[in-house]
């Protein structure tokens, strides 16, 4: 039986050659939000991997929405021009579809990069005042964020739209809104971070309101042929927090609004989370969303074995499998998976002679 992982898939008007997605991965290597040579090297390398879709890292819609001062952004003409240069270089040598994840870090903004220790930056050291649904810091030692008022909500909603329009101008082929990992839109969803007493807090309907408003605004601003999806945290892994039942309800509301796909991760909103890590530990969350909604679903999280990835798709747990750190460790993972599963992948002509003799049909002609 042919490998299901390597069967084509259509996300609305976007055709994918296989079910392997390269997940967004923060690089902390931008300059005032603008992409650098590192992004050309990093994304260019991944664009030669044979995956079906490459999603650019979480990209801030305004300066205050960056996780760190070194995060990628797309709020200015300078940001747009820098990313255009990167994309031009990649497209010269790769036909892989490229999407982008748009986000706002909310109370998790203004931090050091991971390799310099993480943690919130002082205001005098390239830090800034963070924003959130409520004045609840991520860590007790952090500065409390400022609760967003009506004007702030409007500004951020419009920033998502403006950034999405820049993505369209750049020719990016899919947009993913970041509603996961404890960042701003997830903060509105989770009762652990959202303790508002207005129309944006309290009940599930109210907590979903702002993320749904952002989705509606972006979907309306983007041409119908471009898929707009959402990344969600299926659970906070904390008692009394966001959970899979609420995720399904949110996914159903997104389906009614025309969401193109749902990318299911978990956690990130609370330091009290307790996660039992194991291969595919988030796959049951993706399956729950797919079963309840029928929306194209991406599973992610410690899926590194070829047979495991195949089983996720073939068994109906998800329509696609996303790789993150695993593909950084092995940038030719799709090649090796195809060789193992008896499938084929696209490869650049400069690499065609690398095909091992025992895998003579590995590269598509």
- 27 neighbors 115 (Cβ within 8 angstroms): no
Alpha helices in 184-320 (DSSP H): 184-189, 204-221, 244-256, 283-293, 306-314
- Rounded Cα gap, residues 286 and 300, in angstroms: 8
- Rounded Cα gap, residues 233 and 135, in angstroms: 22
- According to DSSP, the β-strands at 9-11 and 98-103 are unpaired
- DSSP H/E element including 320: strand 320-323
**From the CB of residue 360, how many other CB atoms can be counted at a distance below 10 Å?**
8
Structure tokens at 122: 């002082």
- Rounded Cα gap, residues 55 and 25, in angstroms: 8
Given 28, 183, 200, 306, the catalytic residue = 183
In the annotation, is 28 catalytic? Answer: no
Ordered DSSP codes for 70-92: T--B-SSHHHHHHHHHHHHHHHT
Q: Scan for tokens 């890292």, then name that residue.
A: 57
Structure tokens at 288: 């729950």
Sign of CA dihedral 84, 88, 90, 96: positive
Q: What are the two backbone dihedrals, phi and then psi, of residue 249, each rounded to the nearest 5 degrees?
A: -60, -40
Ordered DSSP codes for 159-193: HHHHHHHHHHHTT--EEEEEE-TTSHHHHHH-TTT
3-state helix vs strand vs coil in the chain, percent to 5:
35, 15, 45
- 89 neighbors 57 (Cβ within 8 angstroms): no
The catalytic residue positions are 183
């Amino acid at each position: 039986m042919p490998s299901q992982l390597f069967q084509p898939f259509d996300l609305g008007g976007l055709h994918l050659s296989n079910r392997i997605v390269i997940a967004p991965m923060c690089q902390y290597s931008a300059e005032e939000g603008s992409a650098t040579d590192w992004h050309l090297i990093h994304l260019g390398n991944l664009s030669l991997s044979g995956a079906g879709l490459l999603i650019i890292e979480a990209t801030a819609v305004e300066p205050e929405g960056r996780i760190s001062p070194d995060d990628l952004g797309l709020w200015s003409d300078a940001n747009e021009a820098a990313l255009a240069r990167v994309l031009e270089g990649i497209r010269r040598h790769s036909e892989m579809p490229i999407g982008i994840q748009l986000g706002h870090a909310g109370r998790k903004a203004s931090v050091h990069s991971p390799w310099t220790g993480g943690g919130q930056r002082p205001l005098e050291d390239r830090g800034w005042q963070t924003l959130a649904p409520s004045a609840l810091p991520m860590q007790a030692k952090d500065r409390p964020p400022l609760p967003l008022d009506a004007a702030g909500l409007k500004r951020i909603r419009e920033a998502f739209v403006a950034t999405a329009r820049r993505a369209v101008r750049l020719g990016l082929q899919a947009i993913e809104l970041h509603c996961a990992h404890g960042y701003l839109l997830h903060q509105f969803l989770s009762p652990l971070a959202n303790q508002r007493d207005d129309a944006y807090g309290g009940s599930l309907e109210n907590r979903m309101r702002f993320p749904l408003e952002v989705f509606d605004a972006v979907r309306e601003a983007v041409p119908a042929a471009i898929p707009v999806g959402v990344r969600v945290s299926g659970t906070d892994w904390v008692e009394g927090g966001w959970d899979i039942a609420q995720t399904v309800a949110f996914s159903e509301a997104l389906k009614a609004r025309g969401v193109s796909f749902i990318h299911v991760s978990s956690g990130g909103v609370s330091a009290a989370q307790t996660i039992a890590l194991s291969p595919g530990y988030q796959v049951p969350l993706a399956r729950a969303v797919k079963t309840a909604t029928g929306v194209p679903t991406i599973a992610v999280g410690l899926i590194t074995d070829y047979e495991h990835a195949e089983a996720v798709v073939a068994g109906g747990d998800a329509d696609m499998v996303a790789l993150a750190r695993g593909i950084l460790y092995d940038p030719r993972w799709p090649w090796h998976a195809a060789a193992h599963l008896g499938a084929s992948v696209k490869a650049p002509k400069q690499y065609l002679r690398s095909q091992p003799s025992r895998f003579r049909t590995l590269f598509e002609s």
